[in-house]
Amino acid sequence: MRFFSDNAAAVHPRVLAAMADANTLDTAYDGDRWSKALDGRLSDLFGTAVEALWVPTGTAANALALAALCPPYGGTICHRDAHVQNDEGGAPEFYTHGAKLLLADGDGAKLTPATIRDTADAIADDVHRVQPHALTITNATEYGLVYTPDEVAAIGALARDRGWGFHMDGARFANAVARLGCSPAEVTCQAGVDILSFGFVKNGAMSAEALVFFKPGLADATRRRRKRAGLLLSKGRYLAAQVLAMVDDDLWIDNGRVANARAETIASAAGDRLVHPVEANEVFLRATPAEGAALRAQGFDFYDWAAGEVRLVTAWDTDADDIARLADAIRRL
């Protein structure tokens, strides 16, 4: 019973079926009809004209987005616990050619206008200091918290005031939107986000995320960078088909809802053990090493996040019976 990461979940049957349907001879790269349909389908979803590019990983999506928003000699403000800072092997620095990540604080890996200003305003405006050019937030955050549309909009207003680009890492965007009950546009383009890394791989796809550009003019250079990074798969139709299958008939949001509900069940059982409120599909639990061992002895696999703290992640395919067993086991600790 695996609660290690949604990264390792299986691929949804409708995604697999869509890939099989794409198994015909067609144009290479992104000239096929699936790839060409992305702009339209995601424009429909967001209710505004967007450009959308498939990429095979979330790390690539994030790094391409930062490269589109921040010059090599600039910096991007992020939370000090952000995935871009800690878990991408230096991909942002690679793609931006060495731009700095400028670290800010906030509970549950959430930035606020105040903490962003603390970081930015401590940087003297001279050539010796790397200046902020962009900021990035993760929604849902690395600790499973959710930014509301109002919270995003407040940050977006700050970004606009300062002339910064604004990126959202949406590796768990479906979980966030499922929680918020808002439209995907309300928490992105309507709140000032310029580029969204729209995650599907943790949520039922195999190997496709979408970079969604709300701000015109950014996608063209990114198409060049995508090729230059060796990310332009020659059989792109199999990636585009995944994205389309996830968007079709709301599969993405339905899957997000299932994962959230699974996490909620665990949260209910966890009570005071919760380190953070559970707003998406991640549960951070206080547990002694002995308690962790006890859970593992019962067949539950998960991540030791920090001393006395474990992380349990649910996904679209997390078995309801497994969840019931896990909740039970936690209650009995």
Size of the site for a copy of itself (CB under 8 A): 73
Output the CA torsion 257→262→266→267 (10° steps). Answer: 0
SS3 string of 78-119? EECCCHHHHCCCCHHHHHCCCCEEEEECCHHHCCCHHHHHHH
| E strand residue ranges, 173-326 | 195-198, 209-213, 282-286, 303-306, 309-313
Residue 2 contacts a copy of itself per CB under 8 A: yes
Of the candidates 52, 185, 201, 244, which one interacts with a copy of itself according to CB under 8 A? 201
Interface of this chain with a copy of itself, residues 290 to 319, rule: CB under 8 A: 317
233-255 core/surface letters (b: 16 or more CB in 10 A; e: else): beebbbbbbbbbbbbeeebbbbb
Residue 8 contacts a copy of itself per CB under 8 A: yes
CB of 333 to a copy of itself, least distance (A): 24
Interface of this chain with a copy of itself, residues 56 to 95, rule: CB under 8 A: 56-64, 71-75, 86-91, 93-95
Residue 16 contacts a copy of itself per CB under 8 A: yes
For 138, the enclosing helix (H) or strand (E) is strand 132-138
Q: Residue 114 or 221: which CB sits closer to a copy of itself? A: 221
Closest to 68 measured CA to CA, from 85, 47, 49, 51: 51
Residue 23 contacts a copy of itself per CB under 8 A: yes
d(CA 265, CA 253): 18
Q: Residue 28 or 114: which CB sits closer to a copy of itself? A: 28
Q: Residue 60 or 259: which CB sits closer to a copy of itself? A: 60
Residue 193 contacts a copy of itself per CB under 8 A: no
Q: Residue 128 or 272: which CB sits closer to a copy of itself? A: 128
d(CA 123, CA 182): 36
Q: Residue 60 or 251: which CB sits closer to a copy of itself? A: 60
Q: Residue 171 or 189: which CB sits closer to a copy of itself? A: 171
In the numeric block, the tokens 């969840």 are attached to 323
Q: Residue 73 or 182: which CB sits closer to a copy of itself? A: 73
Q: Which stretch, 27-35, 111-119, 137-145, 281-289, contacts a copy of itself (CB under 8 A)?
A: 27-35
- List Cβ neighbours of 196 (8 Å cut-off, separation of 6 or more): 167, 168, 170, 173, 188, 211, 212, 214
Q: Residue 4 or 328: which CB sits closer to a copy of itself? A: 4
Interface of this chain with a copy of itself, residues 204 to 263, rule: CB under 8 A: 206-207, 221, 223-235, 238-239
CB of 59 to a copy of itself, least distance (A): 4
Which amino acid, one-letter code, is at 133? H
Task: Say if residues 279 and 259 touch (Cβ distance below 8 Å).
Answer: no
Site string for a copy of itself, 116-155 (x = CB under 8 A): -----------xxxxx------------------------
- List Cβ neighbours of 293 (8 Å cut-off, separation of 6 or more): none
